[in-house]
Structure 1
Amino acid sequence: MLSRRTAIASAMILPFAAHAQDWSPNRPVRVVAGWPGGGAADASLRVVAPHMQTALGQPVVIENRAGASGSIAAAAVAQAAPDGQTLLFDAAGQVSNPFLMRGLAFDYLTAFTPVCLFALLPNVLCVRAETPIHSVPELVAYLRANPGQPCANTGIGITSHLAAVMFASIEKLQVTHVPYRASSQSMPGLLAGETLFTFNTTPLSVPLVRDGRVRALAVTTPQRIPSLPDTPTMQELGYAGFSLNEWIALFAPAGTPANMVARHAAAAQQGLADPVVRERHALLGMEVMAQGPAEFGAFLAEQRTRIGALIRDNNIRLES
């Protein structure tokens, strides 16, 4: 369970921190984030950063460099010296971008070292509250009777899009994917009737569910989530292995020494273990993970294998 993973990761902080004490940064640490300020992912970093700053003994300076599914920020960090002074705060695009983007000046698969998985942002399958659709089987029946219905997503290859592709592929549905420039635009599009349904992350979907404007049909996590306890998982509904969620994490340039990576991971885990930080994440609908380099690296490898297969099997391209 997610909470158990978090507890295990939190319990490992003290020995991990002790192991990492043989290095400290000698100037402010720059963290480059691949999105604009103000969103849930940015809020996660900003609430953890003061704790990292205390643990590291140096200011942590956040630099937002949005655009191109996070690849602009990633490119900046890929070119940085592996000296522990520059980190990347990125999302699940780390996994999908290598299969979709061509001509990048760096290789996602070799340019970065995993440091700490901060949190999951579960995807929620939603429809407008005004629709007569109250369950996933009802949605499937409607889509079979009315092929080509529009589904909102936040960009080709983003987890909201991939979840919808997986759903349509399993049910053999004909769906029109409507990409928006940002999650903050896709939900207003749903409410305005531009699209019929969407998979979208909890920070945007849960408040609308609570306000009665959007109906949650399912979540894409293996277990139900605290913010939507009455909403079933896709796996509960018979979609075996259906787990596809956004996530946010810290990376270092490849070649960063292990003791530096360990020190940054311990600092981030210390922040993520703080009760106020955990409460803030819960309010935003995020599931704290706090995985260090080894566990996060295994998670990353599994994600790359699964997401890569999904992209290849469905012939997903950026221009599609």
Structure 2
Amino acid sequence: MFRIAVSKWIAAFAALALPVASALADDYPSRSIALVVPFAAGGPTDTLGRILAERMTRSLGQTVVVENVTGAGGVIANSKVIKAAPDGYTAIIGHLGTHVLAPAVQGLQTDYLKEFEPVAVVATNPEVIVSRLDVPAKNLQELVAWVKANPGKVSYASGGAGTPSHIMAEDFSQKVAPLNIVHYRGAAPAMQDVVAGHVDLSFDQAATGLNFARSGKVRAYAVTSPTRVPSAPEIPTVDEAGLPGFYMSVWHGIWMPRGTPPEAIARFDTAVREALADPEVRRRFAELGQEIPPPEQQTPRGLAALHKAETEKWVPIIKSANIHAN
């Protein structure tokens, strides 16, 4: 009799609990949401995060507050979000570097594919292959031939050890011929030395590299994506220019801590997609050289697939080149 009574009590309690859980889901969000940015204010990721936060605040009816947490290539910010309560009130915007490259370069044991709940891909930005103006090669095929004829002698400006430009240079070295990689403290000083003629080559984000090409300060050979960049349709893709499949894009995504309720993720994703459909947001992203991904990537499933594919592509390259944090 006691067991039957207890069973009935548990069943009754569970039935009562269901409407409460539903009410909590319907009420979300009931307070402000933190959008963590793993870099300092004013940078590309911070700018994208603030544009999205402003528009998403309107959709959610609660303020999306940008919180800058810097250090270790995004690892500190990621650790903070992983440890946050999975209640739908903490999210992070990161990119290829913070969620694929940095953990591999730093030898972290944490599996970011498991520790985060994906929300959406929000922007993509391929690299552009550029050189100083007096490099003898006039197109990508000639550039490849020139590097092959001078293995280890052609200098390459990297934005820093473990950065996307560094990892891509290692990929190029393995697939084409070795480059003499010179590390700088950031993409800006790296590009400055290419412009000045001190270094032969660099791979820079199209958002910034194409501006130097348009102004006649560097020569652009190709963008590292399967399609041309809308803001520079005159620049061919690597497929068209003679180095098929040599792709890299510094894509940005949004994640939440593992265990965040699906209802909260879906609501947040809806706000992201509404923001990405807004003409003003699209205009501002285009001004920054950022491309908004297709609708199927603006979903948790889309980000999960991209994150997994990029991890499987770049981590083996990092390991084979023995790239690690100093």
TM, length-normalised to structure 2:
0.85
- Deviations along 1:231-273, whole A, 9 cap, x unmatched? 1211223433222111111110111111111111111111111
Q: Look up the equivalent residue of 1:27 and give its one-letter code.
A: R
Deviation (angstroms), 1:138: 2.4
State how 1:65-76 maps to structure 2 within 5 Å: 65-76=69-80
| Structure 2 equivalent of residue 317 of structure 1 | 324
| Structure 2 equivalent of residue 297 of structure 1 | 304
Q: Runs of 4 or more off by more than 6 Å in structure 1? A: none
| Structure 2 equivalent of residue 115 of structure 1 | 119
- Deviations along 1:116-168, whole A, 9 cap, x unmatched? 11111110001123433321222223323433322112233322222222222
In 2, the alpha carbon distance for the partners of 1:246 and 1:103 equals 21
Q: Which has the larger radius of gyration?
A: 2
Listed as ranges, the gaps of 5+ residues in structure 2 are 1-24
In 1, the alpha carbon distance for the partners of 2:250 and 2:233 equals 19
| Structure 2 equivalent of residue 137 of structure 1 | 141
Q: Work out whether 1:243 is the aligned partner of 2:247.
A: yes
| Structure 2 equivalent of residue 47 of structure 1 | 51
Q: Look up the equivalent residue of 1:282 and give its one-letter code.
A: A
Q: Look up the equivalent residue of 1:102 and give its one-letter code.
A: G
| Structure 1 equivalent of residue 16 of structure 2 | none
- Deviations along 1:255-294, whole A, 9 cap, x unmatched? 1111111111111111111111111111211110161101
311, 314, 317: which one pairs with 1:307? 314
Is the partner of 1:162 in helix, strand or coil? helix
Give yes or no for contact 2:139–2:241 (8 Å, CA) kept in 1: no
Q: Work out whether 1:274 is the aligned partner of 2:281.
A: no
Q: Look up the equivalent residue of 1:318 and give its one-letter code.
A: A
Give yes or no for contact 2:119–2:256 (8 Å, CA) kept in 1: yes
Q: If each structure's helix is expressed as a fraction of its own residues, which one has the higher value?
A: 2
**Structure 1 residues 279 and 174 mapped into 2: Cα distance closer, same or farther (>3 Å)?**
same
Give yes or no for contact 2:34–2:91 (8 Å, CA) kept in 1: yes
- Deviations along 1:150-192, whole A, 9 cap, x unmatched? 2112233322222222222111x22122222222222112222
Give yes or no for contact 2:113–2:307 (8 Å, CA) kept in 1: no
State how 1:156-195 maps to structure 2 within 5 Å: 156-171=161-176, 173-195=177-199
In 2, the alpha carbon distance for the partners of 1:81 and 1:52 equals 21
In 1, the alpha carbon distance for the partners of 2:74 and 2:180 equals 25
Deviation (angstroms), 1:202: 1.6
Give yes or no for contact 2:39–2:74 (8 Å, CA) kept in 1: yes
| Structure 1 equivalent of residue 40 of structure 2 | 36
Is the partner of 1:236 in helix, strand or coil? helix
In 2, the alpha carbon distance for the partners of 1:103 and 1:140 equals 35
Instruction: State the Cα RMSD in Å.
Output: 2.0
53, 56, 61: which one pairs with 2:65? 61
Relative contact order (C-alpha < 8 Å, sep 6+): which is higher?
1
Deviation (angstroms), 1:206: 1.6
Is the partner of 1:148 in helix, strand or coil? coil
Give yes or no for contact 2:132–2:199 (8 Å, CA) kept in 1: no
In 1, the alpha carbon distance for the partners of 2:280 and 2:202 equals 31
Give yes or no for contact 2:45–2:93 (8 Å, CA) kept in 1: no
| Structure 2 equivalent of residue 263 of structure 1 | 267
TM, length-normalised to structure 1:
0.87
Listed as ranges, the gaps of 5+ residues in structure 1 are 1-20
